[in-house]
Structure 1
Amino acid sequence: MSCIRFNTPAQLAAMREHVPVMLTPEEAAALHPAPPVTESKIRRLRILAQDQNPKIRESVASNYHTPEDLFEVLARDPDDGVRSCVARNEYAPCDVLRSMADDASEQVRGWLAVNYYVPADVMERLAADPSETVRKLVNWKGALVDA
């Protein structure tokens, strides 16, 4: 028995008639609102930020609701991956991102270079970074902005 399926023209027409209409992001958000951020969620983030597993700490560093003081702690985490998640998070405070401009990890500085929410003074510092990769990322992002 073959697993190939052949649809008749009538079946194809019926399928085309029932194609779902695509929603805009705003319409989808209105239909499926995010739950409110509660003190309980913030407490969980604080607990998870101290986990021994760096992947768990990365999830906190990537979260939009992470409190500023946790971003400050995670920006100094010994794991490059955790610091990279802070560097690319658009909700990380500017002062935290600014403090990461001289991070020892090229990966972290590279994520800073492509984050659109990094302050201009940090971008100037990254434009003169010792890493060619970081400098190229700064130029690439600059080309996107100018386009």
Structure 2
Amino acid sequence: MWGAFSVLGAIALGVLIGLWMKKKFNRVMLGAAVIAGFSVAYPIAEFGGPLLATLDQVAPWVAVNLVLASIASVLLWFDFQEKGIKKFNVIVGFLAPTFFLLAAGPFLVAWDLVGGLGTGVESALSQMGR
């Protein structure tokens, strides 16, 4: 799934670069930035999530990332409603998905551990029935 999504993100990044070179700052460019941001957000969060989980104080980092993601979402919401967009919001649109995944990163690590536990219990129960 992530392979197909990275191909979609590469196409969106190509559209984003093409529109940037033509200086066509519109909603399509902002949408392409968000899609390209989603394609790079998972690898960044996959690296940053376990790193944040090893810290002693995880809650402040999660809170900071969640506040940044919320601010980015509000900026993008109001920018999508206008005809023209602000140039810096393209970068905000690219980074917003990463902020959301970094805010959820430590929880995703715990979810992965619980998911592995569920698979282990399921295989143990299937062995008991034989």
TM-score, with normalisation over the residues of structure 1? 0.25
Greater helix share, 1 or 2? 2
Larger gyration radius, structure 1 or structure 2: 1
Where relative contact order (Cα < 8 A, 6+ residues apart) is larger, the structure is 2
